[in-house]
Structure 1
Amino acid sequence: MTGLFITLEGGDGVGKSTQAALLESWLVAAGRTVVRTREPGGTEIGTEIREIVLHSRGHISPRAEALLYAADRAQHIAMKVRPALERGEVVVQDRYLDSSVAYQGAGRVLDGGEIRSLSLWAADGLLPDLTVLLDLDEDAARARLDGANKRFDRLEAEKSDFHRRVRGAFLGLANAEPARFLVVDAAGAPDEIAASIRARVEFLLAHP
């Protein structure tokens, strides 16, 4: 038996955590065993890497940043995600390799193809069954973050042109792999967004 691997992607402030929680609750109510996780930080080692990449006060070069994310991914997939899928569970994950292509590729102006290849090597080729892209204008997303009165991490604190490149990269990835991606307007009501996601997941569960 193999499980179902679902990732949620999008810029900062689009509502990934909210939708991950709603999806997890629905799946559990339906009798599914769910592993909800995130990158970076889904393992003990990943938590240490997360602190470095998101909260370090020192400068991290773009290539070093990409390698740190890849190291987190290699540990996370090997120790947490693959074992859960082999047990037939549903993995609901906040960010995966598409975030690396968007943030370290387009955002940091590195080669997106190289970043994707690095990520796939780190993950031993594992791709999600479904990637939900929550799409929102970068200025609207920033307004949400500002309204939350939270301390920005290193990536959230980047300027608008950085986040504009990230959004464009995400949309390009979705356009290139329409069978894997579900693109949802993140400006909608949370319950409506959740219903769109559930409809696609129901189909995948019914057609393994």
Structure 2
Amino acid sequence: MTYYVLEGIDCVGKSTQIGLLKKDEAFKEATFISEPDSSPLGSMVRKEIESKLDHKTMFLLFLASRAALFAKLRDSNPSLVISDRSLISGIAYSELPLKEALSLNLFATSDVLPSKVVFLKASKEVLEARLSGKKQDSIESKGLMFLLDVQARIEETLRLIESKGVAIKILDASQTQAALSASIKEFFKP
């Protein structure tokens, strides 16, 4: 299975870019997933994100959801999977040391890492503008500094997995949708 991931914090345009990839003829054979939504446990986890569960419980729910998703993928055996988020977000949003969080996430995925990752990175100013223009969910309502801290942890996590052979492309999320789409398609070209 070839496994590509689009990563970044909230409000950077991941879902928009996934939508554009889905419409592209070059990716018509791809299986598109979104974490945590695509797992058999996804709807339960999505509902609990809005609750006030403690951090450890949420982390374990995400691991369970990720394990169920990868069991489902192993059963269906798609040739190309493109994901909106991945274990990278799971690691970055956790409060665990990165190497420990990576180890637990690799247990959940049976040691599957993405082949390629596009990371959409937003400046403080871009993120502030995008947050001010929308109704915020429970993650976004934790504030600008929280999201920027998570973004920094995503970058640290990317450095960690890059040493394991994962190809990474970092793109400025303030670029136009068309420019981002062209860069992503070129990088993900099957």
TM-score, normalized by length of structure 1? 0.82
Contact 1:11 1:141 in 2 (8 A): no
Match of 1:4 in 2: 2
Structure 1 vs Structure 2: percent identity of aligned residues? 30
CA contact (8 A) 1:37 1:92 kept: yes
Q: 1:97 is aligned with what amino acid?
A: L
Secondary structure of residue in 2 paired with 1:188: coil
Matched residue of 1:104: which SS? coil
Matching of residues 44-59 of structure 1 within 5 Å: 44-53=40-49, 55-56=50-51, 59=52
2:30 alignment counterpart? 34
1:138 and 1:16 mapped to 2: Cα distance?
Answer: 17
C-alpha distance in structure 2 between counterparts of 1:101 and 1:31, whole Å:
27
Query: By how many angstroms is 1:125 displaced?
Result: 0.6
**Deviations 1:134-189, CA, capped at 9 Å, x for gaps:** 00024422421331x33x32211112221121111122233441742111111100
Structure 1 runs of 4+ aligned residues shifted over 3 Å read none
* 2:59 corresponds to: 66
Q: How does 1:130-149 map to 2 (within 5 A)?
A: 130-147=116-133, 149=134
What is the match of residue 20 of structure 1?
18
Change (3 A) 1:164 1:35: same
Match of 2:137 in 1: 153
8 Å Cα contact 2:127/2:144 also seen in 1: no
TM-aligned CA deviation for residue 35 of structure 1: 1.5
Q: Is the 8 A contact 1:66 1:115 kept in 2?
A: no
Is residue 201 of structure 1 aligned with residue 188 of structure 2?
A: yes
The equivalent position to 2:107 in structure 1, one of 96, 121, 131, is 121
Ranges in structure 2 where 5+ consecutive residues have no aligned partner:
none
Contact 1:138 1:167 in 2 (8 A): no
Structure 1 residues 137 and 73, CA, compared in 2 at 3 Å: closer, same or farther? Answer: same
Do 2:7 and 2:120's aligned partners in 1 also have CA atoms closer than 8 Å?
Answer: yes
- Distance in 2, Cα, partners of 1:153 & 1:47: 16
Partner residue of 1:82? Answer: 74
Q: TM-score, normalised by structure 2?
A: 0.89
